[in-house]
Amino acid sequence: MIGQSVPQKKLFDIRASFIVIAIFLLVVLLGIRGSTQWITPSTGGFPYREFILKYTSIPTIGALANFDGVQYLIIADHDAYYQYQQAYFPLFPLLIKVVGTIIGGKLLYGGLVISVFSLFWGLILLRKLLNSLPGKNKFVWSSVVYLLLLPGSFFFVSVYTESLFLTLFCGALLLLNRKQYVLAAITACLLGMTRLVGVFVVIPIVVYFAFPYLSEKRAWLKRFIQSLKPVHLLVIFSPVLGLLIYMTYLYITVGDPLAFIHAQKAFNNNRSTSIVLLPQVIYRYFKILTTAQLDVAYIVASVEIGVFIAYIALLARQFYRYVVLKKDAHWLTWGILLFSIANLILPTLTGTLSSIPRYGLLSLAVLMEINQCSRKMKYLLGFVFGIINLLMLVLFAQGYFVS
């Protein structure tokens, strides 16, 4: 109806998201601007670093496309992958091309528009999603502060996929919870085209369909399978379909459907193309911390292992509450927890904890568990994570690889 007023609650969501993101973006830009006075720029650099000057003449803005960001820009600019760029999934550069063209060919600004806009809707969808939970899992706006204090949260407003993934992930689960299966399937398929871990959204999807039968002691699996309808199977396999679409493209263009894995060795990020077990990774980091000299690489390694242990502890605490204490059990809490564990463990199978802070941003069960902590613990975690986040931002802006 024309002239109908916007519901007050919805209006509050929009205003709160806009204000929080505006303040956060300002803090990130000020941090980048001030970082030149705090630390010497990296002399090592990263591939195609000089290309950033093609997309902007403002160093503060250009820093938001450091490392992976410039790779996405080059892919979008040339409508194709160069050698080893297959490690970057196609949805984000496609969107950069579209949005960048709309705003006059400014691809870097197109990428930033996508990230900021996605974060805006991601926060709203996250609140709607978690507010559908029973009990004390309710999402409050103070939780946004903790999300944006997490180490590496500045990637949410950089030319990276974090914000886009957050929006698609929350959107897929919210649509699923509302039984809008076709839209949920489309969104989940897009997740599979955004990054590799997108296929793991199949975990909360399966939990959603199986949860009503898990309380049965006998033949729950048989009843679960019998209950599945074609539209349910469409939703379940949609994330894999997104990945298969990209793999088919790679097979046609370079003859290697797994090029996104094999390309990792070209980036000198200490990743292995064969599986390395987590105990081996922890042992390796223990040796680094006890034998290496104190430098930027040592600080980054300390952050990686520290953040990983903190996140694993929070996830273990949540797992204990669900299994032993039998509190807050719901398909959504279980689905997000299991996805968060998979999202955190998958990168470690390459033999390193590199980029764990950035990957961990999407382990939303960590945020949910912080929300369950006491006020003093929240303040402590917020302070420590905030300091680490600022340190990472300063290093990242100066060309040091931090995540």
pLDDT per 10-residue tile (average), the chain, 403 residues: 49 73 92 82 82 92 95 94 91 97 94 96 88 65 84 97 97 95 98 96 96 79 89 96 97 94 72 78 90 89 95 94 80 94 91 92 92 89 95 94 90
Q: Whole-model pTM?
A: 0.93
Measure the CA–CA gap between 26 and 21, rounded to whole angstroms.
8
Look at residue 221 in the predicted model and tell me its pLDDT. 84
pLDDT at 273: 63
- For residue 90, CA distances in Å to 71, 151, 219, 337 come to 11, 26, 41, 27
Determine the 3-state secondary structure of 107 from DSSP. Answer: helix
CB-based contacts of 41-50 (< 8 A; 24+ apart in sequence)? 41/398, 41/399, 42/296, 42/398, 42/399, 42/400, 44/399, 45/399, 46/70, 46/399, 46/401, 47/71, 47/267, 48/74, 49/399
Tell me, what's the pLDDT at 6?
A: 46
pLDDT of residue 268: 60
pLDDT at 191: 97
Say what the pLDDT of residue 91 is. Answer: 98
H/E element holding 276?
A: none
**Structure confidence at residue 327 (pLDDT):** 76
